[in-house]
């Protein structure tokens, strides 16, 4: 078993504030194109078509062997390199004498439902790898995530097309946003030994029968989050006799609702209401949810929706005299909600759940993250997610290099038994296990506060309740659709 943490030199560099970063997210469709807009102007560019022409795609794939070593593995010094790794320096690389490791990013960067979160996720990953490169890179190689970043608009077909375009040129995938999107290419990833870090938290990733050991989870699953969140609620707000689960069906809301159901079974709560819904782009409003929850009148509502739906549901129910409270999954919060008409209701009735420390955390990981922005706050908590989810890829690349195999097969082999401590900002994970062997259950609960960083104040440190130890977590809590 290996244990991989950031080097002392890397952390010292962060503490010294010596890192200067550009503040834009790359959505390059070819290596020569300029970086895509940051979150500030992404909305203005949402209507632009960022897809490659057929000629661009042919050039990318046809030139893959020349650009990224696709012609087969080759020994360079004591490290064997293969697809997605070159002896030539990265474009705009930090260290001109280093080679280059190319990682892919498949995200929702313009017009999809999670773009507001995904843009800062990607910005944080760019900042993280810039920090690594400033510290010398990995085994004589800088890491590039800009060249093969693609906007998938949170559409499985777009995701699959972008994956096929970048696959010949990358070593691994630094971000694959969306469970269904990732599932659409997982078979090909398996055939080509491509490891990925997901920007989603489906419970199926905790079992190799679903992810073939290729997915580097970060934090708990939505299913476990619901259990731990309800345990926290009982400890802090009293006994629960009725509960409602509101969420998007499938890997997100469906997984969360399954966790609510398992929690209720363990804790003897028979009054459980499940209310499926969709994003407002699909449903128009959340009026049907508001009516269903008002009729059920539960003690607590577990939300697994987007920020806009969270504000509408909480605000309308509070205005109607609802007496219960809300706990919201990781993607339910955005500090912009404190500028909405639901702000008072959210401050009074809602708590946010997260698998990592927030901006007010005290770990080395949080300190390094803050230094990457020179102490300035990001637009929202997506930046925290992006920083946290970079640690597993960093660890597995370092382990593969230590093993002398910076190849796809070498990276895949390095996953089994890999221990990652996230520099303290998230709970340690040992990869290669099944179910409870790999998934943590600790949750950081926060309360909205207009005066707090990113609009939330942590209610305490890690909370781990008793329910997860009692459930039979031997398969995915829900299907992906």
Tokens 């503490």 correspond to 15
Contact 373, 384 (CB under 8 A): no
* pTM (2 d.p.): 0.84
- 73: tokens are 């593995």
Min mean pLDDT across 72-76, 267-271, 387-391 is at 72-76
Question: Tens digit of pLDDT for each residue in 406-446?
Answer: 999 999 999 999 999 999 999 999 999 999 999 999 999 99
17: CB partners within 8 A, 6+ apart: 371, 374
385: helix, coil or strand? helix
Report the phi/psi class of residue 80: left, alpha or beta, with left for phi > 0 and alpha for psi in -120 to 50. beta
In sequence order, what DSSP letters do the residues of 364-378 get, joined into one string? HHHHHHHHHTTT---
395: helix, coil or strand? helix
Contacts 24+ apart (CB under 8 A), 455-463: 455/333, 455/335, 455/337, 455/338, 456/333, 456/335, 456/352, 456/358, 456/381, 457/360, 458/357, 458/358, 458/360, 458/361, 459/236, 459/351, 462/427, 463/228, 463/231, 463/232, 463/235
The arithmetic mean of pLDDT across residues 192-209, rounded, is: 97
Closest CA to 426 of 355, 352, 331, 329: 355
Query: Nearest 5°: CA angle at 379, between 375 and 383?
Result: 75
Provide the pLDDT confidence category of residue 281 given band limits of 50, 70 and 90. Answer: confident
For residue 155, count other CB atoms closer than 10 A to its CB. Answer: 18
Q: Exposed, middle or buried by CB within 10 Å (0-12, 13-18, 19+), for 63?
A: middle
Could you tell me where the DSSP H helices lie in 267-363? 280-283, 287-296, 307-319, 343-349
Contact 98, 142 (CB under 8 A): yes
Q: What is the pLDDT of residue 77?
A: 63
Q: Which residue has the higher pLDDT, 202 or 49?
A: 202
Provide the pLDDT confidence category of residue 480 given band limits of 50, 70 and 90. Answer: confident
Q: What is the pLDDT of residue 375?
A: 86
Provide the pLDDT confidence category of residue 32 given band limits of 50, 70 and 90. Answer: very low
Please give the mean pLDDT across all residues of the chain.
88
Q: Report helix angle 287-296 to 307-319, nearest 10.
A: 50
Q: What is the pLDDT of residue 73?
A: 67
Min mean pLDDT across 14-28, 206-220, 292-306 is at 14-28
The arithmetic mean of pLDDT across residues 346-369, rounded, is: 97
Tell how far CA 84 is from the center of its chain.
Answer: 23
Q: What is the pLDDT of residue 12?
A: 32
Is the pLDDT at 478 greater than 90? The verdict is: yes
Question: Tens digit of pLDDT for each residue in 152-179?
Answer: 999 999 999 999 999 999 999 999 999 9
The span from the CA of 287 to the CA of 19, in Å, is 48
Q: Which residues pair with 244 in a beta bridge?
A: 273, 301
The span from the CA of 27 to the CA of 42, in Å, is 11
Provide the pLDDT confidence category of residue 449 given band limits of 50, 70 and 90. Answer: very high
The span from the CA of 402 to the CA of 399, in Å, is 5
Q: What is the pLDDT of residue 172?
A: 98
Q: What is the pLDDT of residue 206?
A: 97
Kindly calculate the radius of gyration of the chain based on its CA atoms and give it in whole angstroms.
Answer: 22
Q: Which residue has the higher pLDDT, 57 or 219?
A: 219
Is the pLDDT at 181 greater than 80? The verdict is: yes
Contact 372, 120 (CB under 8 A): no
């Amino acid at each position: 078993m290996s244990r991989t943490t950031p080097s002392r030199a890397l952390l010292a560099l962060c503490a010294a504030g010596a890192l200067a970063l550009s503040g834009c997210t790359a959505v390059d469709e070819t290596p020569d194109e300029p970086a895509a807009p940051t979150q500030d102007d992404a909305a203005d560019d949402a209507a632009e078509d960022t897809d490659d022409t057929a000629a661009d795609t042919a050039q990318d794939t046809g030139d893959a062997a020349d650009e990224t070593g696709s012609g087969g593995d080759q020994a360079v010094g004591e490290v064997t390199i293969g697809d997605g790794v070159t002896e030539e320096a990265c474009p705009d690389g930090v260290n001109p004498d280093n080679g280059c490791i190319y990682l892919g990013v498949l995200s929702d960067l313009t017009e999809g439902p999670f773009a507001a979160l995904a843009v800062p996720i990607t910005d944080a990953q760019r900042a993280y790898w810039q920090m690594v490169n400033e510290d010398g890179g990995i085994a004589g190689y800088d890491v590039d995530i800009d060249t093969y970043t693609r906007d998938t608009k949170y559409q499985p077909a777009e995701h699959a097309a972008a994956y096929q375009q970048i696959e010949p040129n990358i070593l691994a995938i630094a971000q694959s946003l969306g469970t269904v999107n990732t599932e659409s290419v997982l078979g090909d990833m398996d055939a080509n030994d491509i490891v990925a870090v997901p920007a989603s938290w489906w419970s199926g990733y905790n079992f190799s029968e679903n992810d073939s050991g290729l997915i580097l989870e970060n934090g708990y699953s939505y299913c476990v989050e619901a259990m731990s969140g309800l345990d926290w609620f009982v400890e802090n707000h009293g006994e629960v006799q009725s509960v409602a689960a509101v969420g998007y069906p499938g890997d997100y809301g469906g997984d969360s609702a399954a966790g609510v159901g398992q929690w209720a079974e363990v804790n003897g709560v028979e009054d459980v209401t499940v209310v499926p819904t969709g994003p407002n782009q699909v449903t128009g409003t959340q009026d049907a949810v508001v009516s269903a929850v008002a009729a059920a009148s539960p003690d607590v509502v577990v939300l697994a929706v987007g920020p806009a739906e969270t504000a509408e549901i909480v605000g309308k129910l509070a205005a109607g005299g609802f007496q219960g409270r809300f706990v919201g999954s990781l993607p339910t919060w955005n500090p912009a909600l404190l500028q909405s008409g639901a702000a008072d209701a959210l401050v009074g009735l809602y708590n946010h759940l997260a698998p990592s420390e927030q901006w007010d955390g005290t770990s080395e990981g949080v300190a390094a993250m803050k230094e990457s922005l020179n102490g300035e706050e990001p637009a929202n908590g997506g930046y925290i997610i992006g920083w946290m989810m970079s640690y597993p890829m960093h660890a597995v690349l370092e382990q593969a290099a230590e093993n002398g195999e910076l190849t796809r097969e070498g990276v895949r082999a390095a996953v089994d038994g890999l221990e990652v401590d996230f520099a303290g900002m998230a709970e340690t994970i040992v990869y290669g296990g099944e179910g409870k062997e790999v998934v943590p259950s600790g949750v950081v609960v926060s309360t909205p506060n207009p005066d707090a960083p990113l609009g939330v104040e942590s209610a305490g440190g890690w909370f781990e309740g008793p329910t997860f130890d009692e459930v039979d977590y031997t398969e995915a809590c829900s299907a992906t659709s």
